[in-house]
Amino acid sequence: MEGIYPPSLRRGGAPRRFDEYYRCYPVAMLPGPDRNNVNYGGKVIMPPSALDKLTRLHISYPMMFELINGTKETMTHAGVLEFIAEEGKIYVPFWLMQVLALEPGDLLQVKSTDLPSGAFIKLQAQSTSFLDISDPKAVLENVFRNYSCLTTGDVFTFEYNDQTFDMAVLEVKPDTEKHAIVVLETDLEVDFATPVGYEEEQAKMKAAAAAAKSKGGSGTSTPGSSSAAGTLGLPAGGILHSQGSMAQAINYASIAPESAEAAAGAKAVSSNFLLGGQKLSSKRGSKAPTPSPSTPAAGMSSNQPAGRPVPPAAAARRRNGPQPLRLPPGKLFFGYAVKPVRKRGEAAPGDEPEKPRFLGQGQTLRAKK
């Protein structure tokens, strides 16, 4: 009788397992529309004959499989999403092909297996861009819905905000001989290791900050101040005063907001009676017209063509505040004075106190008795 029945049906025989070989292809080669959600997941697509065999073997749900590349001696685990592949083919996410070192068309062994529910997993981002995610645990909770299981050593991918992130699995618990856990319908604790490249970036930033501090002297200069100071002939971190060479070159004393020359020039330019009048007599006037201000004034552009004065309205609009500077390319000027904001009720410096009004004796039309 023992020779009639197969070993799986004998009393006390070992349970049968699903064990098949398929030609492996990436999900991108699956006929039909693009399915990025499958590519950023941990489930494969198998042929309908696999479902028929799994049903006859009474494989429990969720179905988990060992994926084995015998040529490269690599192994990992995955779930199944659908049974719509062509016979003899299996479609897997691209990251699984990289983990298994597979090429399209390679032979892949698929075995059914059982895995424990996960309690803990430690992950490591493969780039520092993962730190830009404000709530990584919430993002991964949503990502794990596309995965059935994860194995130590996997480097899976997921998409978030139109960016692709790579994540390595460093540790899982419970850690069995298969080093894999189920991440579906389980209370999973997630821990993160330092992302790859983070320490190198921190070291570069510290070195750059130390170099900038050593070049800056006092340490109060802003980035680029040392180069600008060298261009202007000033010490690093220095302040450009109104008596400096740059201020003299642009005639800063005449265009500063508090300059008396600038105020006088603005008044002269905005005056409608600047030009000389005409006499009725035939004699020429011996008095020359009022000369135009020799210094740049508020409301007056140095690029204004001769014979075309600035309109008074435009001059009035630009009378107050710093006047425009005409500097050659590659030069900057930081010489404007800083005026602190006055508190309410505080008098401005130089203002005279208000004199009392209506202090006269007054007059009356009635004669005094």
What percent of the chain clears pLDDT 90, i.e. is strictly above it? 40
- Residue 171 banded pLDDT, cuts 50, 70, 90: very high
134 has pLDDT over 70: yes
40 has pLDDT over 90: yes
The Cα-based distances of 241 to 117, 126, 254, 295, 361 in angstroms read 72, 51, 14, 20, 54
pLDDT of residue 42: 94
Q: Per-residue pLDDT tens for 206-245?
A: 888 888 888 765 444 444 444 444 444 444 444 444 456 6
pLDDT of residue 241: 47
Q: What is the mean pLDDT of the chain?
A: 76
pLDDT of residue 242: 46
Which is more confidently placed, 157 or 314?
Answer: 157
pLDDT of residue 322: 55
Handedness of CA 231, 235, 236, 238 (dihedral sign): negative
201 has pLDDT over 90: no
354 has pLDDT over 80: no
User: What is the rounded average pLDDT of the residues 324-329?
Assistant: 71
pLDDT of residue 255: 66
Farthest CA pair distance, the chain: 157
Q: Per-residue pLDDT tens for 252-307?
A: 666 666 665 555 655 555 555 555 566 666 555 555 555 555 445 444 444 555 55
Which is more confidently placed, 342 or 258?
Answer: 342
pTM for this model (two decimals): 0.55
Q: Comparing 109-113, 155-159, 285-289, 342-346, which segment has the lowest mean pLDDT?
A: 285-289
85 has pLDDT over 70: yes
pLDDT of residue 302: 47
pLDDT of residue 52: 93
